[in-house]
Amino acid sequence: MSKPLNVGMIGYGFMGRAHSNAFLQVNHFFQREHTPVLKACCGRNKEKLSAFAAAWSYETMESDWRKLIARKDIDLIDVCVPNNLHRDIVVAAAKKGKMIICEKPLAMNAAEGEEMLKAVEAAGVANMVSFNYRRVPAISLAKQLVDEGRIGRPFHYRAVYNQDYTISPNVPQGGAALWRLDVDVAGSGVTGDLLAHSIDTAEWLNGPIKKVVASTETFIKQRMHAETGKVQPVGIDDTCMFLAIFANGSRGTFESTRYARGRKNYNTFELNGADGSVFFDLEDPHILQYFRYTDPKTGSKVEDHLTGWQRIHVTNFEHPYMNKWWVPGCTIGYEHTFTNGLADFLASIEGGPAFQPDIRCALHTQRVCDAVLKSAANGKWVEVPA
């Protein structure tokens, strides 16, 4: 019999919508014991919150997240608010014994992340961090190919995550839509916002990053603050590039900017090993490119006239998650990554495999981000704490 899972959603923006959709869809496609119930949503603007509650059929509303967390009828708190609120909400929710879904980046910095980890582990509450790109079927397939030994000894990992929406100096910082440009709310610029995703994917596919050296730049030094109207210094990194040494000895390059004219959400990676390579581009999300050098069945080199990059259309029933959706050849999209992740989370609380990434795992990503920013400031290689 289905068990209700009462959700308390904090935030009604981009991620509030993406997660609400996943809660509503998950049991239409994945059969789980729990049925998410959209019990309450929380936000400060009554009019916008009411519209959100109506659009997604939330039963009740709260204007203060502390009141939401104190409610006995809420099982799970979903943190879909800007980064500077993650720590306080997660720590308070854990103390009340709530399960937690937290958006990325985990926190403003690793020190906050450590407090969050302590709180959830002391409370023993199930938790997940929403690095949703792991649940793009093509990226999950890349992980499968790595785990099957098809890449062999890894040599290089290359990640790029570029956008272009902050090129104009007239874009303000701060406020509802542009809190990502305000360092006091976001914690960092592209490092925490975009490269955190790239780092999570990289460490999942290629193991931990041990050491980094980085360069960042803030191209526009001052912007008007949307809330105060004052022109203030910009504290975020507009671009970040770093070199990484992985524990397995391979070398990585990571690049991110919000000044790549024409790029909207250009998130790519390539992993090159002795036996093969994989390449992924989020602008072509259902394709995984795979180069097979060694035939994994025979262990021998693929005949020269047959080598070449394969474009795998990741929509077969045999591909990750795809037997839950449509028929082969029919693609899924961005929102499905959240549903796939939620399905895995529910499975984990129902006795299935432990969910990853959890807060412990996301803390390592945060430590890499901190090391990157430290290196950009001091110009030296920085070790990432284990």
Ligand X SMILES: NC(=O)c1ccc[n+]([C@@H]2O[C@H](COP(=O)([O-])OP(=O)(O)OC[C@H]3O[C@@H](n4cnc5c(N)ncnc54)[C@H](O)[C@@H]3O)[C@@H](O)[C@H]2O)c1
Is 104 one of the binding residues for ligand X (CB under 6 A)?
yes
Nearer to ligand X, 250 or 366 (CB): 366
Residues 234, 102, 288: CA angle, nearest 5 degrees: 85
Residue 219: phi, psi to the nearest 5?
Answer: -75, -40
Instruction: Give the number of other CB atoms < 10 A from CB of residue 330.
Output: 10
Report how far residue 112's alpha carbon sits from residue 177's, in angstroms, rounded to the nearest whole number.
Answer: 24
Residue 94: phi, psi to the nearest 5?
Answer: -65, -40
Interface region with ligand X, contact rule CB under 6 A, candidates 39-47, 241-249, 293-301, 311-319: 39-47
In the list 8, 9, 12, 294, the residue contacting ligand X (rule: CB under 6 A) is 12
Contacts for 54 with CB less than 8 Å, ≥ 6 apart: none
Minimum CB distance to ligand X, residue 318 (Å): 27
Is 42 one of the binding residues for ligand X (CB under 6 A)?
yes
In the list 26, 27, 90, 103, the residue contacting ligand X (rule: CB under 6 A) is 103
Interface region with ligand X, contact rule CB under 6 A, candidates 79-87, 219-227, 231-239, 309-317: 79-87
Residue 259 backbone class (left: φ over 0; alpha: ψ -120 to 50; beta: rest): alpha
Interface region with ligand X, contact rule CB under 6 A, candidates 81-89, 142-150, 210-218, 350-358: 81-89
Site for ligand X in 167-196 (CB under 6 A): 176, 193
Is 364 one of the binding residues for ligand X (CB under 6 A)?
no
Is 366 one of the binding residues for ligand X (CB under 6 A)?
no
Report how far residue 278's alpha carbon sits from residue 311's, in angstroms, rounded to the nearest whole number.
Answer: 10
Nearer to ligand X, 85 or 247 (CB): 85
Is 85 one of the binding residues for ligand X (CB under 6 A)?
yes
Size of the site for ligand X (CB under 6 A): 22
Residues 327, 330, 332: CA angle, nearest 5 degrees: 110
Minimum CB distance to ligand X, residue 361 (Å): 15
Minimum CB distance to ligand X, residue 309 (Å): 27
Residue 224 near residue 289, CB atoms below 8 Å? no
Interface region with ligand X, contact rule CB under 6 A, candidates 11-19, 157-165, 238-246, 268-276: 11-19
Q: For residue 294, which amino acid is it?
A: T
The dihedral through the CA atoms of 143, 149, 151, 156 has a sign that is positive
Bridge partner list, 241? 215, 255
Minimum CB distance to ligand X, residue 34 (Å): 22
Q: How many CA atoms lie within 13 A of 259 on its CB side?
A: 14
Which residue's CB atom is positioned nearest to ligand X?
13
Dihedral angle of Cα 91, 95, 100, 105, to the nearest 10 degrees: 10
Interface region with ligand X, contact rule CB under 6 A, candidates 13-21, 31-39, 142-150, 316-324: 13-21
User: Which residues sit at the interface with ligand X, rule CB under 6 A?
Assistant: 10-16, 42-44, 65, 80-83, 85, 103-104, 130, 132, 176, 193
